Structure 1
Amino acid sequence: MDIYKGTVAFSGIAIGKILYYHKSEYQIRQYEITDIKAELELFRQSRTRVIDQLKELYEKNCSMQEAQAEVFLKQKNLLEGKSFQRAIESIIQNEKVNAAYAVMTTRDEIISTFRNLEEPAIKERLDNIREISERLIGILGGISPRIDLGEEPVIVVTESITPTELMEMDKEKILAIVTHHGSDISHAAILAKTMNIPALVEIDTDTEWDGQLAIVDGYTGSLYIHPDEEIKKEYEIRRQADLEEREELLKLREKPDLTRDGKRVEIYANIGNMDDLNSVLYYGAAGIGLLRSEFQYLGRENYPRENELFHAYKKIAETMGDRLAVIRTADLGADKQAAYLNIPDETNPIMGNRGIRLCLDRKKMFKAQLRAIFRASAYGNLAIMFPMISSEEEMDEIEAMIEEVTNGLDERGIPYKNIRTGIMIETPAAVMISRELARRVDFLSLGTNDLSQYTLAMDRQNPLLRKKYNDHHPAVLRMIKMVIDAGHAENKRVCICGELAADTALTEEFLKMGVDCLSVVPACILPVRRALRQVDLSDMRR
């Protein structure tokens, strides 16, 4: 028996045989072509097929984790771009070589040129180039890119894995994931969490493990290869206890969000699309604390029309009934883009023209969304929330546009409700003027993902910063407390809706700070409810 230690990306216990996943390597033969026009047409047809594949993969997977499925949109946009296409076609025309060889050559030249650069954005772009090249070569060479895991569920072990590869695998066949490269905050790790799959990274993997029995301990970060009978029996007991604990959690679905001493702090759900509505109701959420509405703008060829948005929001309102559903206006820009949006390249897009800044630049788009939300408000309990606010001047513009939109609805006799409005507090600037902002709206919601990275001046998805990034930093926690106090000073509710809201190690601290509600992904509702129900705040009220 051999034991290896790694880093936990997602918890859980798995016992089963290893399937060592080898990434496809193509040996492309170069040969001279006589019909350049036909070879160019062959390449263009393959390009169109891959674009269609990527669009289909996005639509198939966005219901599971929309943010991670966006990698398919990035790859689609990259393939639709002219520079990559021209480079390949130039080789076909000038060197009179087959299309598959031209794709491989273009890929290798790009990777060779930029491979020594450490910027995360460039590394991500190179990964996307590798993947779209592999798809093109697969079609041109008649090879299927489908990843076959076999008949029985397996522990997938590999050097590295991308969200694309993970989403192409049969989810029912994956017991756990173990990789050499990667980090616990990578896109693939976040996707594994969404899929509820135990995952370890930073394990020195070996192809000789293929077919061997193994145990993955997603709590201690341990991997056991060919475990002895005593260890195997111990982990079978622990795995059963793990399953029973999950079953025990399900008993909390109908329980109220009350602390041990009877204080109500409601737990809401963060969702990315319509398919998550059933999960909101299944886990007994108080409502939707954050609907990421930008999903309707991605994976398509043009802007959604107002009626399309209206019907989606109407369905949400009707499905949720009396439960509150907070719709965040489109947080586009940075890594959330589509080709038709024509968002210019930026040196630092995370700090760029995104969220409310982009919406206020594109008033026609923004007004269409505002009209759709107000029209749908007549059918349920909707609220509206604005992302990336950093000044009162932005609120001046928003309020003027809301007045224009509602006046237009009045003139046309279209019913709507005077719905509640809220602000996402995601920047240090918003924290420092949170009391002034609270006077302008009905509630505040802390977006801790962006707030943490802006406060720490660290990209939270940069693997080079994994050991330095600390979203429990005292500065982050003090800012959260400042916002809660500022909101309460103006008699406004304050919610936390970033990833920290699901961190049960902080649940008691957040409750002691006085937070009014927490909003988490549906899968985290029950663990947070359990943590909340164990807290006693009676000493705080004496």
Structure 2
Amino acid sequence: MLTLRPEDIRLDCQAADWRAALEQAAESLQQAGLTAPAYRDGLFQRETQSSTYLGNAIAIPHGTPESREHVHVTGVRVLQFPSGVEWHDGQRVHVLVSIAAQSDEHLDILRQLTHVLDDDSVGQRLAEARSTAEVAALLSKAVVEARLDAETLCLGFPARDARELALAGAARLRQLGCVGNGFVAAVAERELARLGQGLWLATSGQGVEIPALALATPEAELVSGGETVKGVFCLAAQGDAHRGLLERILALLDSGAAELSSADAATVLARLAGESATAHTRLARVLNAHGLHARPAKQLVQVARRQGIPIHVRLAEGGGAAVPTTSLTKVINLGARRGQQLAFSAEGEHAAEALDAVCRAVADGLGEQVMPFDESRERIVPQADAAPAEPLPDNTPHPGVAASPGLAIAPVFVLQTPRFDYPERAADPAEQQRRLQSAIVEGVAQLEALESEARGGEVAQILSMHEEMLQDPELFEAAREGIHEGRSAEAAWWEAIETAAHAQEMLADRLLAERAADLRDVGRRVLGILCNVSLPEPPETPYILVTDDIGPSDVARLDTRRVRGLLTARGGATAHSAILARALGIPAVVGAGERVLTLADGSELILDGERGRVTPAPSAERRAAAEQRLAERQQREAEAWKTRFEEARCRDGHRVEVAANLGNTTHAADAVERGAEAVGLLRTEFLFMAHAQEPDLDTQIAEYREALDALKGRPLVARTLDVGGDKPLPYWPVPKEDNPFLGLRGIRLTLTRPEVLETQLRALLLAAAPDAEGTPRPLRIMLPMVKDVGEFRAARAVFDRLVDEIPPTERATDVQLGVMIEVPSAALLAPTLAPEVDFFSIGTNDLTQYTLAIDRDHPVLSAQADGLHPAVLRLIEMTVAAAHAHGKWVGVCGELASDALAVPVLVGLGVDELSVSARQVPLVKARLREFGLNEARAQAELALGQATSEAVRDALEAR
């Protein structure tokens, strides 16, 4: 609740313009100890996204979500400008309500301020106020939400007279915690008021905790005292808070209530909301991560106004009154959260078309990037029995996504994902809050115990991150707010988890989007404690774990002495669970589909984490072949590690460089220790994502030099910033796109802000300057998502200018500029690119998905996105031929480079460098030593002659 004290308010402020006023607001928050100085940047960044002008001469400046880390304590500071300040949107402002919010408290503060906007004179009164008490009185108002929803309705009750209906309504309100026994007793003693049209009213203010309205209707036609009884309203009155409920009853009587006695809950709520029986209605679900806050609400109002007819909106699942969509403050005051449905209504000839337009705008996100609403993930409840999936055939390989290399042969243990059943609402907020706090404390203790037993630093780090998530005050505060709105501890907690997870999914790239799984993992841990649900115990003998999906902490709990492999129906190869499986050395196949859950406990399975295949109930011959492969692999891994520092060459001496792909500069030293001869792909976007603001020149230089120093003269291939609509930066918002993978991303995006590209190129050139002894640091700069030579030339112009500007003694002297071949047009036009670039590096992950039109993370099709498809191989062949014709080298930095079957094919196509994950470097080097160049060329020719990726793999395996 917004409560203002005299010390929170500053009178008689003066400012020349809105920027000066905002500087004063930032200073007041900092002086009060609410924020750090850096919060000031968040205030200004918010204004660049959307004006915070609220109405009636009031603006509510607040920071961006990224600036919340600079908030020490949630609070507000009010600044009065009697002479007024012209805001940047042209509005005149007399009062700034400056907000420091650690989560989304500013939305609640905003909703509490909306009452001020109903009074047109308040702006002048705020300007003329001569005391802090007067300003506080104008702004502060305790908001009491009266309750009317489907749960307060008691329809079809078997009553014998009107009084029984009144008591049924009173009892319902008592069950919901709105009233106490005193209210029920008062209703029993009082006479009912006749409203007309067969409706009656029972009301009392005694024992009321929350003002509310119940309606009880009879099961069958009811006549009491000679009059027809269609329903009895039971009103719990409190101050003025129930006045709106009473007004809606009166409006219902004016519009007619004939159908009320036989109506269902949705119809009753619609009529009480003011919708007539002749109105057109539509439902639209809010998809925005933070609900219908100011910016999307403003978009909704603008769309609705363009329709030219009156449109009203309300929360479909509640009993709130419908409000006009032309009123921004009333739309905001609905407080619609993600997942809630809005009910729109309109009357007239063009009502249907107008409602369709408004609902489309809501579905599109109202100017924000949104994720689809998946009911099964938003709310964890038991699901109705679905048709069983068709079992997997015996002794037949089944595809999935290769997530962690290795081969496993063992019986399966099928672990069904737990389901949690819990009530949506609860009556005692204090008890619910206590339960949640206790569950979180227990969850943290569980994670601490797991962390102490964790094997390997990566496991411990992720578990430690989970501990921090559970102790995040924003998560608890969001859940606490839900509890005080009447939700159970379970429902409020899961809503807080889902809101945070969806925000993560929208603000990060594909890899970081899968970190939302971590939030849901810690969420399920607490939910399991609240619901007293635990997982079944696995067998004591070795097994392959089969499950729908698995959280990182579940992987960390696995006993690697017994778990031979991991198979999931869902999930991606970049999720933390997959990363941990690789860290623990557990072979894993993920995203294999629901059919894997039909496997019988104890049945035998062959799991190939390298090829992404599983074979249930294998024949004796297939099992023997797998056992031989397993023994050979174990011996090969041991031998590969011993020879990891040897130069990578084929059996006949043909040289192929083996490099490492890195997402973090700190891992460069580890890559060298594993035998990497270079870094073939440094994903620099992770540096940009690790900062709340764009990293400056010095920060970038320090990061890049860390990797270059660790490489000790080995080459570094750094990809320039590769972000966009599919993986946006929070401080670089881009417009919502229907298909961000085909939109403004990679070099296309950075060319729209050449100063960002220039700073990064400058940082790379300076970081790679020769060391103190004058030894060069080889640097290769790679441009992502280049479609043709025009984009390369635009970036080359910036690069060449910097090379000319920076003295040779201060910059890289061994430097090349190349492009990443991941767009099919770049491969097809390689002959026009090759004369101008210094090298090509082929990103087979994206090249495959663009060539085959299959999203590599698609839950159903991802297994078909195979880089060994002959169409992809032909594009690689064209690229290599064009490069070698001009004396340029070609690398491959996608997953295909570490595929044991693909390695000789790529070498046979003429690839000069293979860049793989650091763990794979020794094995890829060892694989090269198993064949000569002539044999590799024969395998490449064999692969190019096939029609499908399956045929390619079958032919190569047979060879």
Q: Normalising TM by the smaller chain, what interval? A: 0.7 to 0.9
- 8 Å Cα contact 2:603-2:616 kept in structure 1: no
Q: How does 1:412-431 map to 2 (within 5 A)?
A: 414-417=810-813, 419-431=815-827
* Structure 2 CA distance for partners of 1:399 and 1:141, relative to 1, 3 Å: same
Query: For residues 617 and 833 of structure 2, what CA distance do their matches in structure 1 show?
Result: 53
Distance 1:352 1:317 in 2: 33
* Alpha-carbon distance in structure 2 between the residues aligned to 1:147 and 1:279: 36
Matched, 1:32 2:427: yes
Query: In 1, are the aligned partners of 2:717 and 2:779 still within 8 Å (CA)?
Result: yes
Q: Which residue of structure 2 lines up, in the alignment, with residue 12 of structure 1? A: 406
Match of 1:159 in 2: 547
Separation in 2 of the partners of 1:463 and 1:317?
A: 38
Report the equivalent of 1:114.
none
Instruction: Provide the residue aligned with 1:311 in structure 2.
Output: 702
Please tell me whether residue 456 in structure 1 is matched to residue 456 in structure 2: no
Q: Are 2:903 and 1:507 equivalent residues in the alignment?
A: yes
| Aligned partner letter, 2:787 | S
Q: 1:161 to 1:258 in 2, by over 3 A?
A: same
Give the counterpart of 2:664 among 249, 273, 281: 273
Matched letter for residue 884 of structure 2? H
Q: Give the 3 Å change call, closer, same or farther, for CA 502–217 of structure 1 in structure 2.
A: closer
**CA distance in structure 2 between the aligned counterparts of 1:246 and 1:466, rounded to whole angstroms:** 28
What's the CA shift for 1:489? 1.7
Instruction: Report how far residue 89 of structure 1 moved.
Output: 8.6
Match of 1:532 among 913, 916, 928: 928
Q: What TM-score, normalized by structure 1, do the two folds share? A: 0.73
SS of residue matched to 2:856: coil
- Aligned-partner residue type, residue 514 of structure 1: G
1:175 aligns with 2:563: yes
Structure 2 residue runs without a partner (length 5+) = 1-393, 502-507, 772-776, 939-959
Compute the displacement of 1:278 (Å).
Answer: 3.4
How far off is 1:16 after superposition? 7.7
Q: 1:362 is aligned with what amino acid?
A: R
Q: How many residues align?
A: 497
CA contact (8 A) 1:177 1:199 kept: yes
User: How far did 1:208 drift?
Assistant: 8.9
Contact 1:356 1:388 in 2 (8 A): yes
Code of the aligned partner of 1:395: F
What residue number does 2:789 align with? 392
Equivalent in the alignment of 2:586: 197
Residue 614 of structure 2 aligns to which amino acid in structure 1? Answer: G
Question: What is the rounded CA distance, in whole Å, between the counterparts of 1:35 and 1:215 in structure 2?
Answer: 50
Output the CA distance in 1 between the equivalents of 2:542 and 2:588: 13
Aligned counterpart in structure 2 of residue 401 of structure 1, from 771, 793, 798? 798
Match of 2:634, as an amino acid? L
Moved more, 522-531 or 441-450: 522-531
User: Post-superposition shift, 1:374?
Assistant: 0.6
Tell me how large the CA RMSD over aligned residues is: 5.1
Deviations 1:380-413 (A, max 9, x none): 22221111111323223212322443455449x8
TM-score by length of 2: 0.44
Hey, what does 2:727 align to over in structure 1? 336
1:523 aligns with 2:919: yes
Which is further off, 427-436 or 249-258?
Answer: 249-258
Higher Cα Rg, which structure: 2
Which stretch has the larger CA shift, 305-314 or 143-152?
A: 143-152
The one-letter code sitting in structure 2 at the alignment partner of 1:291 is L
1:421 counterpart SS class: strand
The one-letter code of the counterpart of 1:198 is P
Larger relative CO (CA 8 A, sep 6+): 1 or 2? 1
Deviation at 1:182, TM superposition (A): 3.1
**Within 2, Cα distance between the matches of 1:109 and 1:426?**
34
The structure where helix makes up a greater share of residues is 1
C-alpha distance 173-478 of structure 1, shift in aligned 2 (>3 A): same
Greater shift in the superposed pair: 147-156 or 322-331: 147-156
User: What secondary structure does 2:887 align onto?
Assistant: coil
Aligned positions of 1:463-478 closer than 5 A: 463-466=859-862, 468-478=864-874
For the residue of structure 2 that corresponds to 1:221, the secondary structure is: strand
1:372 counterpart SS class: helix
Could you give the per-residue CA deviations for residues 486-529 of structure 1, whole angstroms, max 9, x where no partner exists?
A: 11122111222222222232333322322222222222223332
Give the aligned residue type for 2:890.
Answer: V
Q: 1:366 aligns with which of 748, 757, 774?
A: 757
Local SS of the residue matching 1:269: strand
Structure 1's 152 and 359: CA in aligned 2 closer, same or farther, altered over 3 A?
farther
Alignment correspondent of 2:168: none
User: Hey, what does 1:101 align to over in structure 2?
Assistant: 491
Q: Is the 8 A contact 1:11 1:199 kept in 2?
A: yes
Task: Say if 1:416 and 1:172 are closer, same or farther in 2 by CA, change over 3 A.
Answer: same
Q: Secondary structure at the match of 2:881?
A: helix
**CA offset digits 1:110-144 (Å, max 9, x no partner):** 99xxxxxxxxx9x9999987874664575699769
**Where does residue 388 of structure 2 map in the other structure?**
none
Unaligned runs of 5+ in 1: 112-120
Per the alignment, do residues 302 and 244 of structure 1 end up closer, same or farther by CA in structure 2, a change over 3 Å counting?
Answer: same
Distance 1:319 1:398 in 2: 28
Of 685, 693, 716, which aligns to 1:325? 716
Cα distance, 1:142–1:425 mapped onto 2, change above 3 Å: same
- Superposed, which structure 2 residues align to 1:79-228 within 5 Å? 95-98=485-488, 100-104=490-494, 132=519, 135-136=522-523, 155=543, 157-162=545-550, 164=552, 169=557, 175-179=563-567, 181-182=569-570, 187=575, 191=579, 194-195=582-583, 196-200=585-589, 201=592, 204-205=596-597, 209=601, 217-218=607-608, 221-222=614-615
Deviation at 1:97, TM superposition (A): 3.2
The farther-off stretch of 377-386 and 469-478 is 469-478
Are residues 102 and 509 of structure 1, via their aligned partners in 2, closer, same or farther at CA, if it must alter by over 3 Å? closer
Matched, 1:376 2:767: yes
CA contact (8 A) 2:792 2:819 kept: no
Pick closer, same or farther for the CA change 1:136–1:382 going to 2, 3 Å.
same
1:295 corresponds to which of 686, 700, 709: 686
Assess if the C-alpha contact under 8 Å between 2:498 and 2:520 holds in 1.
no
* 2:915 partner SS: strand
Decide which moves more: 415-424 or 160-169: 160-169
Equivalent position amino acid for 1:396 in 2: R
Instruction: In structure 1, give the amino acid aligned to 2:586.
Output: I
With over 3 angstroms needed to count, the CA separation of the structure-2 counterparts of 1:213 and 1:358, relative to structure 1, is same
Question: By how many angstroms is 1:150 displaced?
Answer: 9.7
Question: Structure 2 CA distance, aligned partners of 1:486 and 1:234?
Answer: 41
Residue type at the aligned position of 2:783: F
Contact 2:666 2:706 in 1 (8 A): no
Provide Cα deviations, 1:44-63, integer angstroms capped at 9, x if missing partner.
xx9xx99xx9xxx9xx99x9
Cα distance in 1 for residues equivalent to 2:914 and 2:819: 15
The DSSP-based 3-state class of the residue aligned with 1:339 is coil
Cα 1:155–1:258 shift into 2, 3 Å: same
